[in-house]
């Protein structure tokens, strides 16, 4: 599944480079809302089952599958655009794929042969096996496994390996610019969005409080999609939305502080134009924004039903940030929630906020009425003190999230349907206490949640390093009747520091043993995590 939703909400909080009074927390300190960092590391989309190669017989051109001896792995890409869905089969030659069949505490390994439409593994015995795709391990019995993904935009779009671009900005008729105040009142930010191509970008501009226009030839944009920076083509009708978000005060928090949120307040949909990002040529942005109508909605968000599970998340953990976000669902729900196209609404509450929020709020939505709206509410927990590796601070953490269509999410009180797994152990020893493990192939075990039913579990083994960037992570996907995972040999490095996170998946449509990335995008998404203290390998 494409890693679309990274820590995107951390950028807009100080997007204007205005010397914020406090730095936005790191992605480890704050687990962003499921919309910004999907609990399942990917998008959420509903796809008709007849579109899934893993749901029926293999395509005729995929090569034969000998039941009981062969496994066929396919990986179609489904491009979603205003023209519909275009399915493009992917060549898996060179893809880092392997099958591991358990054999005692060891594993027999099988490599595949590229065939038309996928990769075939021969002479795989009946029964369970792990399909390894890079750093992800899927426990399954399937003879046809689907690694297909959904993407936004036209299938012939070109993406270049650029992460940012200079921008020449001329924006007029904005809502009065707001400075950053706190994570709960982040002030103004600007996002660039397109569903014609896969584009989400935060725009970094220079502005002062009260400004209603910005003329800045030295702005910059950071492209946050997994595929790089798209080439815009006027002949294909590629257009960009320029969206402004501002903070709105909405009453009082249970703790007595100010209840505030960030809403999309003005927008401009630029005419189609061509642009090739090369890291040097400025992206030209000239627009006159228009106010966006605010759509009211009411909710009852029971924070106390999230915080009550703190000790199950980690007996020594502390409350971190609650968050609520609304995002657009491009092209509606005919094919589900496809792609990440920025936010319509963000609410970050102060760390440790508790109680119940019953309020009438509003969000702005500049997109066509055919688009849908998805909401995600969550609460994160973290270790009380940092783990210092070199000059870098790490906070082991976990979260509880509920993500669904907005009308479904707010139809009743917002509260978790499933609680975190409990009593996490490593080689039979309490995993909530830091220690040196006795082996580089530990057995990780846990007990099921008290609340709800886990249909699947995801075990993440996260290495903590001194290097900047994302922490190297191994992930193991197992069914809900399994309460342990033994790591294959050779994965953990000697004299290294890790922590373990186990996520209970209450999502009714998620099938990681068959089609992890497409079914992982089906709503609702319901997750709850427990996390260990750090462990050090010998």
**Residue pLDDT, tens place only, 501-530:** 999 999 999 999 999 999 988 899 999 999
Tens-place pLDDT, residues 421-462: 999 999 999 999 999 999 999 999 999 999 999 999 999 999
Q: How confident is the model at residue 62 (pLDDT cuts 50, 70, 90)?
A: very low
In a domain, 510, yes or no: yes
Provide the 8-state DSSP code for 310: H
Please state whether beta strands 283-288 and 164-172 pair in parallel, antiparallel, or not at all (unpaired): parallel
The domain of 425 spans 416-536
Number of folded domains that form the chain: 1
Say yes or no to pLDDT of 60 above 80: no
* 21 to 18, 28, 181: CA distances (angstroms): 9, 20, 7
Q: Round to whole Å and give the CA distance between 445 and 423.
A: 8
* Structure tokens belonging to residue 356: 């119940």
Residue pLDDT, tens place only, 191-212: 999 999 999 999 999 999 999 9
What stretches of 196-240 adopt beta strand conformation (E)? 199-204, 214-223, 229-230
Run of H or E residues at 511: none
The answer, yes or no, to whether residue 358 has pLDDT greater than 80, is yes
Quote the pLDDT of residue 58.
33
Q: Domain for residue 472, yes or no?
A: yes
Residue 65: pLDDT over 80: no
Is residue 392 in some structural domain?
Answer: no
* Residues 331/371, Cβ–Cβ less than 8 Å: yes
Task: Round to the nearest angstrom and report the end-to-end CA distance of the chain.
Answer: 33
Assigned domain for 466 exists: yes
Q: Is the pLDDT confidence value at 167 over 50?
A: yes
Band (pLDDT 50/70/90 cuts) for residue 68 is low
Query: Residue 317 falls within a domain, yes or no?
Result: no
Q: How far apart are CA 491 and CA 360, in angstroms?
A: 50
Evaluate whether residue 320 is within a structural domain: no
Instruction: Report the pLDDT averaged over residues 38-46.
Output: 37
Q: Is residue 88 part of a domain?
A: no
Structure tokens at 415: 């509260």
Note the pLDDT of residue 520.
87
- Nearest CA among 32, 61, 47 for reference residue 1: 47
Q: Is residue 444 domain-resident?
A: yes
C-alpha span between 324 and 329 (Å, rounded): 16
CATH of the domain at 503: 2.60.40.10
What is the rounded average pLDDT of the residues 359-372?
Answer: 96
pLDDT (0 to 100) of residue 10: 33
């Amino acid at each position: 599944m494409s890693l679309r939703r990274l820590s995107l909400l951390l950028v807009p909080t100080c997007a204007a480079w205005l010397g914020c009074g406090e730095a936005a927390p790191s992605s480890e300190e704050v687990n962003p809302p499921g919309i910004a960092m999907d609990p399942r590391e990917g998008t959420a989309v509903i796809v008709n089952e007849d579109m899934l190669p893993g749901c029926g017989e293999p395509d005729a051109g995929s090569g034969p599958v000998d039941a009981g001896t062969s496994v066929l792995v396919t990986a179609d890409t489904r491009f979603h655009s205003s023209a519909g869905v275009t399915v493009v089969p992917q060549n898996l030659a060179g893809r880092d794929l392997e099958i591991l069949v358990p054999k005692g505490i060891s594993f027999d390994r099988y490599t595949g042969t590229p065939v038309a439409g996928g990769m075939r593994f021969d002479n795989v015995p009946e029964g369970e096996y792990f399909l390894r795709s890079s750093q992800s391990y899927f426990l399954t019995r399937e003879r046809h496994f689907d690694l297909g993904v959904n993407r936004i935009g036209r299938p012939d779009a070109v993406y270049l390996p650029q992460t940012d671009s200079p921008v020449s900005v001329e924006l007029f008729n904005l809502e009065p610019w707001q400075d950053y105040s706190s994570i709960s009142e982040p002030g103004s930010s600007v996002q660039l969005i397109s569903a014609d191509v896969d584009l989400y970008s935060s725009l970094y501009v220079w502005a002062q409080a009260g400004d209603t226009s910005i003329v800045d030839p030295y702005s910059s944009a950071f492209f946050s999609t997994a595929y790089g920076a798209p080439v815009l083509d006027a002949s294909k009708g590629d257009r960009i939305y320029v969206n402004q978000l501002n903070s709105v005060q909405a009453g009082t928090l249970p703790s007595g502080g100010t209840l505030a949120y960030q809403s999309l307040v003005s927008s401009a949909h630029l005419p189609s134009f061509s642009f090739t990002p090369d890291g040097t040529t400025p992206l030209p942005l000239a627009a006159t924004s228009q106010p966006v109508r605010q759509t009211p909605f009411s909710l009852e968000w029971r924070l106390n039903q999230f915080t009550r599970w703190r000790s199950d998340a980690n007996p020594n953990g502390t409350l971190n940030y609650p968050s609520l976000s609304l995002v657009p669902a491009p092209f509606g729900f005919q094919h589900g929630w496809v792609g990440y196209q920025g936010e319509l609404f963000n609410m970050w509450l102060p760390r440790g906020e508790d109680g119940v929020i019953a309020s009438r709020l509003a969000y702005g939505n500049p997109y066509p009425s055919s688009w849908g709206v998805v909401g995600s509410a969550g609460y994160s927990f973290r270790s009380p003190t940092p783990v210092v590796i070199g000059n870098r601070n790490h906070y082991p953490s976990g979260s509880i999230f509920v993500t669904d269509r907005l009308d479904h999410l707010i139809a009743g009180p917002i509260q978790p349907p499933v609680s975190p797994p409990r009593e996490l152990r490593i080689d039979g020893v309490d995993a909530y206490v830091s220690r040196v493990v006795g082996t580089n192939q530990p057995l990780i075990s846990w007990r099921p949640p008290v609340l709800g039913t886990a249909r699947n579990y995801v075990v993440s083994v996260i290495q903590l390093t001194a290097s900047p960037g994302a922490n190297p992570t191994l992930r193991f996907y197992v069914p809900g009747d399994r309460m342990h995972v033994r790591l294959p040999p050779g994965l953990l490095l000697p004299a290294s520091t890790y922590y373990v996170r186990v996520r209970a998946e209450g999502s009714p449509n998620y099938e990681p043993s068959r089609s992890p990335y497409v079914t992982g995008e089906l709503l609702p998404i319901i997750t709850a995590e427990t996390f260990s203290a750090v462990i050090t390998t010998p």
